[in-house]
Structure formats: C-alpha cells, structure tokens
Structure 1
Amino acid sequence: MAHFFPIQLLLIHFKRSWLFLAFWLLLFGMAGGVFFNTLGIPYLFITPEYLEEVNPLSYFIIGIVLGLFTMSFHITSYIFYSHKFPFLATLSRPLYRFSFNNSIIPVSFYLFYTYEIAVELYAEHLSVAWIAANIAGLFIGAIISVTFSFSWFFSTIRPRVFEKIGETLDKTLSKIIVEEKSTDKLDMQEHYRVVTYLKNFYSVRWARDTTHYPKRDLLGILQQHHSNAALFLLILTIIMLSLNWFVDQPFLMIPAGASIVLMMTFFLMIVGALYSRFKGWTFLFFLLAGLSINYVSGLPEFQRTHSAFGLDYDGEPAEYSISRLQKLSTDEIMARDKAETLRALEAWKEKTGKRKPKLIIINSSGGGLRSSLWSMAMMQRLDSSTHSEFWKSTFLVTGSSGGMVGTAYYRELQRRLHTVPSVDPNSPLAYEKMGKDLLNPIGFTMVSTDAFFSFKKFEDAGSTYSYDRGWSFENQLDLNTGDVLPARWQAYRAEEQSASIPWMILSPTVINEGRRLLISNLGVSYLTRNDNPWSKTPSLEIDGVDFYRFFKEQRGDSIRTTTALRLSATFPYITPLASLPSNPRMEVIDAGARDNNGFELSLRFVYTFKSWIEENTSGVVFVQLLANDPPSDTIAGSPYKSRFDALIKPIGGVVNSFTHLQGFSATEHLHFARSWVDFPLDVVSFQLLSDRKQEIALSWHLTEREKAFISESAKSNRITEGVNELRSAMEEQ
C-alpha cells in the first residue's frame, strides 16, 4: 500500500506541499463554515446566487470554476513532483494519469462540499429532487471544466492553436513556466518507488521499470506540458482581468463564491510558475516580494484609497485639526444649531396633535443584513400595533451599520406613503426587498476589482470615481430597494427640519482617533463636544465632527444617500474603509465601533434639550432594536487554557467582550441620568436573539431560513410583551 501511487502523492503533499494544502484547507474551511462564518462567506459557496437566484445554473458556474481550481492543483503538483516519478514517462497522457492518482484531496472536497450543500438546502425545506438537481449542476460544471482542460490544453498532441499562432507565443510561454534542464533530480526515484497506480476508477496497473530509459528522454516526456500550463495560466490571467469590466453587468457577474475560487486558482498557478523558475528559493521569493509590495503600497503615489461618492477630492483638502474643530463648535454656532433643533421639536410636537406627547427615539443596532431586516420587521410590527402612533411619535433615529440601512429604507417608504398610492411600508414585499442579498456583488467586486486595480470609472456630482466594493454595495442596495432612496442625503433636510419625517443621524467612527463623524441635516455642533469645568484637554472635549460643516468646501452637501449609509455600515474587510478629503486623511469605519445602537448619542441629545422635553412632553421612550448577541446570565470561564491562549487572549478577550463593554457603558450612562432627568424615561428593548445558542450570520447575506426566523421572531409572544410595554409607556401622561 505504501507504494500505491495515490497514497504516495497524498503523503508527499502532507510532507512537502503545505502551501497547496493551505489552499485546500481554506476551501474546506469556507465551504464548511469554519472560516469567515461571521462574515457570511460560507454562504457564497453553499448557496451561490446568480442573477439573485440559487439554482442549478448557479451551482453549475461554481462547478466550472472548481474544475479549473482542481486542474490548477493537478498542473502545479505535476510541475513540482512529476520528476520524482519517472514511470509516468512510460504512460500515455502522463498528466492525465498523474491527475487521476492525485485526486484523493479533490474528491474528498467534492464529497464534503456536496454534503454541506445537501444539509443546508434540506434545512431550507427544499425537495429532494431540487437538491439533487442543484448538486447535479455542480458536478456537471466540474466535469465539463476538467474534461475541456484535458482535451484542449493538455492532450499529448500539441493543440493546433500553437501551429497557427507560431513560435513567438511558444517562446513567450516557455518563459512563464520554465522547463527543467538537468536530469539530476531523476536520481531521486528510489525514494518514491511506485509499484501500482490507478489507470481509471476500476483498474489498477503495475508501474513499469524505467532504469533502461535514457534520462534525457524521460525528462523531455515529463515536461511536454509546460508550455500548455503556461497557456492555462495566461488565459486565467485574462479571465481575472476581464472580470473587472463585468462589475456593472449582472448577466456576466458570476457568483462571488466562484470569483473567490477563481482567484485561488490564479494564485495557485502563480505558485507553480514561480517554483518552475526559483525551485527551493520560491518561499524566500514570496517573502521578499510580499515585503516589497507592502513597502511600495505604502508610498503616497501607490496607495489605494476608497472614496465617499459625491465629495470633491480634486480641490484643497479640509484641514483636520483641533483648532479647526474648535472653530466649528463655538458658542455662537452651537446656539444657532440648538435653536434649529428646537424649531424641529416644536414642529414635531405640533404634528403629534398632543399637549404633551411621548418623545420616541429609535436606537437601531448594527449587525449586517440581519439588523436591517430586524429593524424593518420591528418597525412594521410597532407601527401596525399602534395604528401608526409609534411612527408619528418618533423624532430621532440613531444607530449603526445594518440597523440604519433598514430604518432609512423604512423611513423612505413612510415618506412616500401619501404621495405614491402603491407604497405600503408594512407590506411583506417591503420586508422581502430589504432581505435581498448584498454580499454576492461585494464578493465579486472584491475579487475582480479590489484585489488588483480598477479599470472602470464613473462620474458623480462632477467628480470621477473608481468602481470598488463600496460602489458595489451601494448599487446593489439601490437595486434591492427599487431605487427609492434619493440621490443625496441632503434631500431630507427640509422634511427633517419640519419634522415631517423622523430625524436621522448617521455616525460613522473616524479611526484616526475614534471621534464620531456626524452626518446630519440639522446642525449638530452641540453633539460634537463635551464642555465641562474640569476638562483641561481640548482634544478630549471635542469627540465628534459635524460632517456638512467640516466638508463644506469639499462638496459635503453632495454626498450620496447610499454613500452616507455605507460609511455608517463599513463592515471590516467587506465594505472598504473610505478615505475622506482632509489633511491628515480621515478614514471612517462602522458607527458600531463607538456606539453600536446609538444610545449614547441619543442620550446626549436628551441631556441637551432636557428643559424643553420636561416642559413639552410626558417623557422619553428609547425603543432599542437589537440584533446583536443577547447579554449572558452566566460568567464565562477562564480565558487562559494554554500557553498559546495566554498570548492571544489579552487582546482577543477584549474584542470578544466588545458588546458587553458597550452594554456596561450604556448602563452607566442611564445610572447617571437619574441625577438630571426630571421626566419619565423608559427603555424598551426588542432583542432578535433570545439566547446565545441561536445563530444568524453577521453578514450582508441571509438564507431563506434565517429571513423566516427573523420574521417569526418579530411576531413571537416575547416580542408581544415588549409591544404592550411600549404601548403602555406611550399612553402614560
């Protein structure tokens, strides 16, 4: 058994091919939900979408690309190890025979992948016949891809394309994957003696002795496919670069899972090409190349930045300094902004038609698409259950990430309610639109554009921008929601000032030093600083930036609505960090990095206007729509279980406790609020997950099962109790 060729190839991979195995390990991990599960990447493989559908065609495309990856694995393995098995030179179609015997790992993956697909689709309550059809699509695609590769690129007879193109291409290809000139390595055959090998699925053959063959002839036969392998790599490169042009063509946009596998295929072939030239120095070359690329990419002229669409990056950047922030939040400016907000509050009170209405503030937590859908479902439930009194009594909406995307969409539908008869904010169709996938186009763009460079540009507000993941997110959001959101966030200004619609404050976090970037149509200078007699450090007093005022000269009033929402929902690694036109450059990330549900910001608003609230309302109700993990009633065990844990847990423990840390902070703020609140203040929380055993991906993609779970949760008895609590709080005088 030890001299059985498939077993020897498997052992040599485990002994020497750690880089190859890393590719397969990554693929196994993503398909099995072990790697990047919280980002939703596994769903790009298990339920791939093509033209917003999961069907045999989408699996067929995945199969095509997986076939290319499998071929890349076989080709690269052949380049690495064929010289260690000279008996291959005695066989017809040596690459084909090698690949057949090199298939233990690929076959294991396909079986594992099939199992994962079947389990997920069965959980979605799909029929056995439909599950079988999807899996059949996967295997048909893989078989076609592998068969075509063998028959066209790697037959023992050179493809006719070489005869037509001529020697120039042949010489060029020979420089990409270099042939071995020395026969010395064929002396290693005694260490890899093969007795038997698989001829096909049902036939085992004895390996021929090669001692009487001239080594030069053996080497020539083993390397007859090097030019074909280079052509294979060249075509892969063309495909990768071509994807760049398809980012705005849905019909040509392959599933994101296929894009990821295609990129892995490309890099695996690159490894083979470099090994053919550098041999044992390949790893050192990769190390030096990585360090060089890292250094060069840090140079100003080579830095890749992502834009906030609508802003002007061609003119003079905004000065980002403490002194300028102080100038933007003087007593005079803050007094003017407070007066503007007071006028909006008076208009809101008049709209309610009550002498002392309850002032409702919505705090919508982050959490990707699950948060968007939970916010949508709960606002539909609350508005229906209170006969629209809930929405009419809402003055302010704060929060982060997906929660603000969901509330912004619902607010827009409410805004159109009286002007477009067909609009129903509380309809199942609106819920369905909000739940549509956003991750697939992001994943495609990540591979086709952001991994290399963008060829395509587009114009907006007089400036030219590159296509990137940010554009992909915004474009898909518009498509999913029926393109109802206005082009510019500023379009809401007049209606927010008159309280015709609730006021929304978007608050992405500036990663330079953690300040809030407050995107608001009402002046918010009074929310950007904490004046108190004890602080002697101006930089700590000012903890926010009024976006419109700060970027006035950089066309801040032209920022797109989807861009403003995207800045607040910049999920790490999925949507790109946006660089804003300031000096030093300001970069922003998800609002949840500072305040996951916006409670701290809204409480600061209440503190600022506490006198007016006490005189004109019957109190404040914070309605918290929480899609994050619920608080635990049990204490976690010791984080230190090994020496390795002791190295990573000091930082990892803080990251894992992030939600708790924000919860502790919110509770502390409420505790101190007792000293200055002279009116009723209620907090009504609606938690999506009732315990930590329930899991929904923190992603921009949800399965049908997860969407149904969110919808049913909004109708559950425990939520009904919260609805009744809210109704009681709204009725109190």
Structure 2
Amino acid sequence: MRALLSGIHRSFSVQLFLLHLRSNSLLLLVWVLLALMMSGVLGPRLGLQYLFLDPEYLDSDGFWAYLIIGLAYGFFVMSWNLSTYLLIGGYFNFLASLSRPFFKYCINNALLPLGFFLFYCGLVVRFMQPVRDFHPGWWEIAESLSGLVLGLVISLFLYALYFNLTNRDISYYRPQFREPPPNIGPGQSRRGRGYRRTGARALAPKLMSIYDNPYLVKTYLNERLKYKVVRSVAHYDSSVLMSIFRQNHLNAILLQFSTIIVLGTLGFLIDVPFFQIPAGASFIVLLSLIIAFIGAISYWFSEWRFTLLVVLLFGLNLVTSSSWFHHGNQAYGLDYSSSAPYNDTRLLAQYESSVLENDLAATIGILENWKAKQTEEKPPFFVVCASGGGLAAALWAIHVVQTIETCSDGKLLQHTGLMTGASGGELGLAYLREAYLSDTAFSENGVSRLERMGQDLLNPVAFSLVSNDVFLPFTEVEVGGRKYRRDRAYGFERELNLNTQGWMDKPLVDYREPEQKADIPLLFVTPSIVEDGRRMVISPQGVSYMTVPAASQRGDLKLRPDMVDFRRLLPGQSSDSLRFTTALRMNATYPYVLPLVTLPTRPSIRLMDAGYRDNYGVASAERFLSVFRDWLRENTSGVHLIQVSVFRDSDKIDPDDRRGVVENLFSPVGVAGNILGTQILDQEVLLGQLSDLFGPDMFHLYRFNYEPHAEDPLETSVSLHMTEREQQQILLEVDSRKMQLEIDKVLSVLK
C-alpha cells in the first residue's frame, strides 16, 4: 500500500497539481472564481449561475447553447495548459525527450480540468432536477450534457491538431530531418542507436539532480492513458532540449495572440445574432484571456510578476483617466459638442416661479384630458409603481398589469395617470405602455408580449464586453445622425429594440403629445446621479415641480433640489432627441453590467440605476401626488397605488449569524450596506404620509410582490437573462390565492 501511495504521489499528474498549488496561486484563483460563479455562491441574486446552467443561444436553450459553452471551456482549459506549460514545463526535461511533449503534458495536466468538468456536469444535472411545475425529461439532460461534451471534444481536437502539425519534438532531430539526436553515449555509428555527435553538451553531474528531474517524477501517462516510466535525460544535449521547449513556447504564444486577433475581429460582427454566443461562454472566454495574460506576465517577468501586475493596473488607470481617454459612455441622441453648467445656481433656477407655474398648469391640463376620457364624474386615479429586479421584474410588471387590464375589460390603463419605477420593472411598464399606444390588437397580444419580455438581453452585453470593449474600445456607431462610442450599452439597446419590435426606438419628444392628450399615462424615468446622489427625472413634459418637495414650491421652506429636470438641464444639448431606450437603459445601469452614462455637463456627471435612490418608484409617485393633491381631491374618487415588486420581502435575518474577525473587517458599517432594506422602511413612511395627506378613504394601496418559493434551491435572479423555470414560476404566481385576492380588490374599484 505504501509503495502504491508513493507511486501515485510521484506520478506526473499529481506532481503537476501540487506544483500548481505551490506556484500558480494567481492562475488557480481564476478557477476558483469560475467555480463560485457556476455554483451560485458568487452572485446568486444576479443569476450568474444560470448563465452556465441554462445558457441561451439564438433565443433557445439546449444542445447548441451547451455546445458553445463546451467549446469555450475547451478554450479555457487550453489557455490553462498553455500558460502553465510556459511557466513550469521546463522543470520536467524528460518531456522534451518524448514524442509530442505538449500533448503528453496536457494529458497529465488534466487532473484539475477533468475534475472541474465533472463538477460542472453535476451542477447541470442538479439544476435540471424536477422542481414544482418544472419537469425536464431525461432526454433534455442527455441533450445538454452531450452538447457540453461534444463542444469540449471539438475544441480540444482542434488544438491538438494545431500543435501536432506545428510543435517539434525529439523526432525532428532524427537522421531523415537533421543531425541525429544525442542519445545514450558516444562511439556508435551515425545511424545506430546511441550516436552522440562530437561537442554535445550534457548536463554537468552537479546539475543533474537539479535540472534533470527536480520533482522526482517516476511515471507519466501516455496517449493511450498507460503509465510509462520516466527516464533520465542527463545524457542529452541540453541545447536540443531547450530548443524543443522554446519552439513549443513560441507556438503557444503565437496561438494566444491569434486568439486575441480573432476575438477582436468578431467584435465587428457583434450585430449578427449568429456570433452572439451565450453569456456564460463569453465569461469563460474572458477568464481564459485573464489566464493567458497572467501566464505571459509570469513567464516573462517571473518573480516580478505580482509587482508588475499592480504597476500595470495603476498605469492603466492613469492613462485612461487622461482627457484623451476620458469619454465614457454617452447618451444616444444628445449633442456632446457643448456642455451645460451643473451647479447649485443652475439647479435652483429650475423651479423659479415662472417655470414652475407653467409646468404646473401644463400638467393640470394633462390631468384634465385624462379626466375627460373617463366615464365617471369622479373617476379613481391609478398610479403604478414597479420595482427594479432585471427581467424578472419586467416580466412580473407586465404580467400583473395586463392581467388586471384583461380582467377589468380594459379599464386599468384607461384609469392610470402615472407610472414610475426602476430598472427592469419600469422597462416592463414602458413596453406595455408603448404597446397600449401602438398595438392595434393590444388585448389579443398579451402572451406575445410576455414571451418577448422574457427574451435574453445579456448575451450581446457579455459578448460585447469580451470582443468589443476589450479589443475595440474606439469603434463608433451612428445613432440619430450623431456618432457615439460603441460598447456593450449599444448591444443592450439594440437587443432590447429587437425584442420589443422596435416600438420604443424613438426620441423622447415623440411621447410628448400622446402624454398631453392622455392617450397614455405619464411615465417618469429617474436614474441616480453618481456625483451628488440626486435623482434625474426624465420626461418629455416640463417637470420642475418634481425637483423639490411641495413645501419648498409653496415657499414654506427653502430646500435644496433633490431631483434634476433633465430637459431643463440640457436645453442646448438636444435633450428632446434623447433616445427613449437610452433613458430606460440609464434607469437600469447596474454597475459592471452596463457602463455608467456621462452627460455633457461642466463638471461632468454620470447616471446609474434608479434603484440606488428609489428602487420601488414610491418616492417619485409620492412627490407627484403631493404636488397635485388639491386637484386629485376635487376631481377623483381617490388615489389607488398599485405597487408591483420582486424580492421585496426576501431579506431575512439569519437567526444563527456567526461572523468571524475577517468578516467583521469587511462589513463594519452594518445597516449602511443594506440599501434596499433601508429604502423599504423609508418608503413605508412615505406611503403613510400619503394616507395622512389624502385620508384613508381617498388613498388605497395594493401590493403585488413576487417571491421565489422557499423549496426551490435555485432562486429567481435579478439578471438580464431568465431561465425557462424562472419564467414559469413568475407566470404561475399570479394565480396564487394571495395575488387573486389583491386583484379582486382592484377590480372592485374598476367595476
């Protein structure tokens, strides 16, 4: 037994794995990162695990999507093999004496990649286990795994073919090609075994123990997966051995550079759906490039690798912060040839008396037009607020609102005067509102809208991040007659327009007249300003009354503006030409997923997700209702606020919370990190104030909150990608008794 264990320990595969643990910690961290993403330990709420467990390609999952994931994983594995071969292949000189040394290295280096692949397959099988109303068949599991395995095999085969045709080994030095290799010893014929040419330089005896086989490897696996005994190479000419390694290394480097060129070229084809690979595959490719980069730095600079990586990161930050690089992402439709001042004086001027009076009068005119379209003398005034939460929030918002719309015979949207929200929820409301305006068969196309809103938005974003943003950061695209930098934001908007039939691909000003006529409800888009924390309110109407509380508008208190009127801030920058999909994208700009938008102001300001200030849309609704409370009291039977949200009650307190010293170092501020939790409590106060303002008989609240079921081990995420299981769970939730009771309350008002 001891001899067996010793043999295993001294096998090439085990020694390679142990050497990685000792020497390649940076490269191993990439494997750990990928494992955390796939298993759902890292970013479970963002749905990172679903990008690998349920990939989507050309609007469908299954065999082809998993095939591409398998191809990407093969690329990842070979990037690992190439990088580690560069770094530690020279420690095992016996490789150079074998035929196809790199191929044998890959076979013996497969311990980690193979174990990881089996771990990944186990996650896929676990994911496809029947849960509640989701029952995949065994053939779906077989189809997915077969695609995964075939993709990996194809990728590895292509690499093997390349290296078999280009890499040199000891056979290159045989007589039919060049001078014979230095074999066993001198004094034998030129064509016989053991010929050693004059002047051959063998390793010195003192160096043999250091360079011949420093890790005392006894066996290795050959192409047939049979163990072979490692032989000494001390008798070989060291220059020949080194030339083999150098030639193999050169091939590896050329292949890495060729791959980068191919990825950069694919960036020009990003608009072709065929090349929009699954987001999971894009992330694997990105991690492969990180491995290649770390491997190259480590190979060329050895002990200085960590220091150089830090210097490069700081250097990259310094260079890209210069004026030549500092352009950021831009809002499509705006004119960036000039900039508008952004300061307190300018913001205070937004709600000066003449401006405020005009905007109040114009909005009251809209409310009067809304009332004229109602059949009641004092109709109920509905407000719909939708929370952020990715495609799950978008799908849930559409599903709830159009379900009530259908059950009320088309009365809900007719009685709705205002829509607010954040991120995905407002994305869904905006599409529903546009369909209400443009679709002549609105009531018949409810199912089609749900299908369209559930379609993937993440594939083009992730692929653009890898191919375009990394390798082609200066490419441009023309939108509305102006040129802008092309990045993953453009890929997002383009895919959104494709999914929503292009109906929202229009400038902001196109919604002015339909809103003024009350053909559609008002909709406020309110992204957050990074620099000062204010909210930007984007609307085709004048909305200066939204910039400060009602008390300040009346002159009771002198308060600083907490919101900014987008159109009034940028009148000389073509604010009316802002693309509406860009406004929605700014409202859903989650960091890293989408780039922050830089506006043409002095100093420049950036916009990001509305959820950081008002994830549920309640704050915006409260401001509007407070300003127009007198008109609403006199002209309506009451205000009815429908709050559509996802994951609102999902944050539970751990009854057995045990934090170690290290965890406490990274979370010392406690409640400051719970942004959404504090927002919920603050908005409960706002809702209470609305009830006090209008009275319990005039203000009514209806809540439709979606929570994933506790028995589902893989919860619904806030990603821009949705699995079939997530969509089924969301669509079925509206039939639950709790939701039906709440719908009945709304219908009792409308009927």
* TM > 0.5 fold call: yes
Contact 2:167 2:247 in 1 (8 A): no
Counterparts of 1:580-729 in structure 2 under 5 Å?
580-630=599-649, 635-637=653-655, 641-651=659-669, 653-655=671-673, 657-678=674-695, 680-689=698-707, 695-729=715-749
Deviation at 1:195, TM superposition (A): 1.0
What is the match of residue 55 of structure 1? 62
Q: State which of 333, 342, 357 in structure 2 corresponds to 1:335.
A: 357
Q: State which of 232, 239, 260 in structure 1 corresponds to 2:262.
A: 239
Q: State which of 566, 569, 585 in structure 2 corresponds to 1:566.
A: 585
AA matched with 1:720: Q
Deviation at 1:624, TM superposition (A): 0.3
Deviation at 1:507, TM superposition (A): 0.6
Q: Secondary structure at the match of 1:686?
A: strand
Q: Secondary structure at the match of 2:717?
A: coil
Contact 2:526 2:610 in 1 (8 A): yes
What is the match of residue 134 of structure 1? 144
Contact 1:65 1:261 in 2 (8 A): yes
Cα gap change, 1:262/1:437 in structure 2, threshold over 3 Å: closer, same or farther?
A: same
What is the match of residue 287 of structure 1? 310
CA deviation profile, 1:237-288 (whole Å, cap 9, x unmatched)? 1112112101111122222222222222223223333333212212221111
AA matched with 1:491: D
Q: State which of 432, 443, 463 in structure 2 corresponds to 1:424.
A: 443
Q: Following the alignment from structure 1 to structure 2, what is the Cα–Cα distance between the partners of residues 188 and 509?
A: 61
CA deviation profile, 1:355-382 (whole Å, cap 9, x unmatched)? 1111110011110100000001001111
Deviation at 1:385, TM superposition (A): 1.7
Cα gap change, 1:189/1:434 in structure 2, threshold over 3 Å: closer, same or farther?
A: same
What is the match of residue 197 of structure 2? none
Cα gap change, 1:638/1:126 in structure 2, threshold over 3 Å: closer, same or farther?
A: closer
CA deviation profile, 1:581-628 (whole Å, cap 9, x unmatched)? 111111111111111111111111111111111111111011000113
Q: Secondary structure at the match of 1:41?
A: coil
**1:119 partnered with 2:132:** no
Q: Following the alignment from structure 2 to structure 1, what is the Cα–Cα distance between the partners of residues 92 and 366?
A: 81
Q: State which of 162, 185, 200 in structure 2 corresponds to 1:152.
A: 162
AA matched with 2:393: S
**1:273 partnered with 2:293:** no
Counterparts of 1:293-332 in structure 2 under 5 Å?
293-314=316-337, 316-332=338-354
Deviation at 1:430, TM superposition (A): 1.3
What is the match of residue 393 of structure 1? 415
Farther-moved stretch of structure 1 (57-66 vs 574-583): 57-66
Q: Following the alignment from structure 1 to structure 2, what is the Cα–Cα distance between the partners of residues 156 and 362?
A: 64
Cα gap change, 1:252/1:46 in structure 2, threshold over 3 Å: closer, same or farther?
A: same
Higher Rg: 2
What is the match of residue 103 of structure 1? 110
Q: Following the alignment from structure 2 to structure 1, what is the Cα–Cα distance between the partners of residues 18 and 610?
A: 49
Q: Following the alignment from structure 1 to structure 2, what is the Cα–Cα distance between the partners of residues 157 and 333?
A: 75
Q: Following the alignment from structure 1 to structure 2, what is the Cα–Cα distance between the partners of residues 155 and 255?
A: 31
Q: Following the alignment from structure 2 to structure 1, what is the Cα–Cα distance between the partners of residues 531 and 153?
A: 50
Contact 1:122 1:128 in 2 (8 A): no
Q: Following the alignment from structure 1 to structure 2, what is the Cα–Cα distance between the partners of residues 272 and 663?
A: 47
Q: Secondary structure at the match of 1:620?
A: strand
Q: Following the alignment from structure 1 to structure 2, what is the Cα–Cα distance between the partners of residues 693 and 592?
A: 28
What is the match of residue 369 of structure 1? 391
Q: Following the alignment from structure 2 to structure 1, what is the Cα–Cα distance between the partners of residues 208 and 471?
A: 37
Deviation at 1:228, TM superposition (A): 0.8
Counterparts of 1:182-197 in structure 2 under 5 Å?
187-189=210-212, 191-197=214-220
Deviation at 1:313, TM superposition (A): 0.8
Deviation at 1:702, TM superposition (A): 0.7
TM-score normalised per structure 1: 0.91
Deviation at 1:155, TM superposition (A): 4.6
Contact 1:384 1:426 in 2 (8 A): no
Q: Secondary structure at the match of 1:398?
A: strand
Cα gap change, 1:658/1:446 in structure 2, threshold over 3 Å: closer, same or farther?
A: same
Q: Following the alignment from structure 1 to structure 2, what is the Cα–Cα distance between the partners of residues 344 and 198?
A: 79
Deviation at 1:693, TM superposition (A): 6.6
What is the match of residue 43 of structure 2? 36
What is the match of residue 98 of structure 2? 91
Q: Following the alignment from structure 2 to structure 1, what is the Cα–Cα distance between the partners of residues 565 and 643?
A: 25
Q: Secondary structure at the match of 1:715?
A: coil
Q: Secondary structure at the match of 2:107?
A: helix
Farther-moved stretch of structure 1 (125-134 vs 596-605): 125-134
Contact 1:360 1:621 in 2 (8 A): yes
**1:355 partnered with 2:355:** no
Deviation at 1:120, TM superposition (A): 2.7
Cα gap change, 1:568/1:156 in structure 2, threshold over 3 Å: closer, same or farther?
A: closer
Contact 2:551 2:557 in 1 (8 A): no
Contact 1:380 1:426 in 2 (8 A): no
Q: Following the alignment from structure 1 to structure 2, what is the Cα–Cα distance between the partners of residues 481 and 367?
A: 19
Q: Following the alignment from structure 1 to structure 2, what is the Cα–Cα distance between the partners of residues 49 and 476?
A: 14
What is the match of residue 180 of structure 2? none
Contact 1:434 1:481 in 2 (8 A): yes
Contact 1:682 1:729 in 2 (8 A): no
Deviation at 1:640, TM superposition (A): 6.2
Deviation at 1:691, TM superposition (A): 6.5
What is the match of residue 548 of structure 1? 567
Cα gap change, 1:261/1:459 in structure 2, threshold over 3 Å: closer, same or farther?
A: same
Contact 1:122 1:131 in 2 (8 A): no
Contact 2:383 2:641 in 1 (8 A): yes
Q: Which runs of 5+ in 2 are unaligned?
A: 1-7, 170-202
AA matched with 2:324: E
Cα gap change, 1:585/1:538 in structure 2, threshold over 3 Å: closer, same or farther?
A: farther
Q: State which of 58, 61, 77 in structure 2 corresponds to 1:70.
A: 77
Q: Secondary structure at the match of 1:650?
A: coil
Contact 2:47 2:716 in 1 (8 A): no
CA deviation profile, 1:535-580 (whole Å, cap 9, x unmatched)? 9999952111111121111000001111111111112211111111
Contact 1:458 1:466 in 2 (8 A): yes
Q: Secondary structure at the match of 2:594?
A: coil
Q: Secondary structure at the match of 2:420?
A: strand
Q: Following the alignment from structure 1 to structure 2, what is the Cα–Cα distance between the partners of residues 540 and 187?
A: 76
Deviation at 1:425, TM superposition (A): 6.1
Cα gap change, 1:557/1:190 in structure 2, threshold over 3 Å: closer, same or farther?
A: same
What is the match of residue 81 of structure 1? 88
Deviation at 1:92, TM superposition (A): 1.3
Q: Which runs of 5+ in 1 are unaligned?
A: 160-181
Deviation at 1:224, TM superposition (A): 3.1
Deviation at 1:405, TM superposition (A): 0.7
Farther-moved stretch of structure 1 (696-705 vs 208-217): 208-217
Deviation at 1:216, TM superposition (A): 3.2
Q: Following the alignment from structure 1 to structure 2, what is the Cα–Cα distance between the partners of residues 667 and 636?
A: 23
What is the match of residue 4 of structure 1? 11
Q: Following the alignment from structure 2 to structure 1, what is the Cα–Cα distance between the partners of residues 553 and 514?
A: 39
Q: Following the alignment from structure 2 to structure 1, what is the Cα–Cα distance between the partners of residues 366 and 113?
A: 64
RMSD: 2.6
Q: Following the alignment from structure 2 to structure 1, what is the Cα–Cα distance between the partners of residues 210 and 283?
A: 39
Farther-moved stretch of structure 1 (618-627 vs 256-265): 256-265
Cα gap change, 1:478/1:501 in structure 2, threshold over 3 Å: closer, same or farther?
A: same
AA matched with 2:462: G
Deviation at 1:403, TM superposition (A): 0.6
What is the match of residue 199 of structure 1? 222
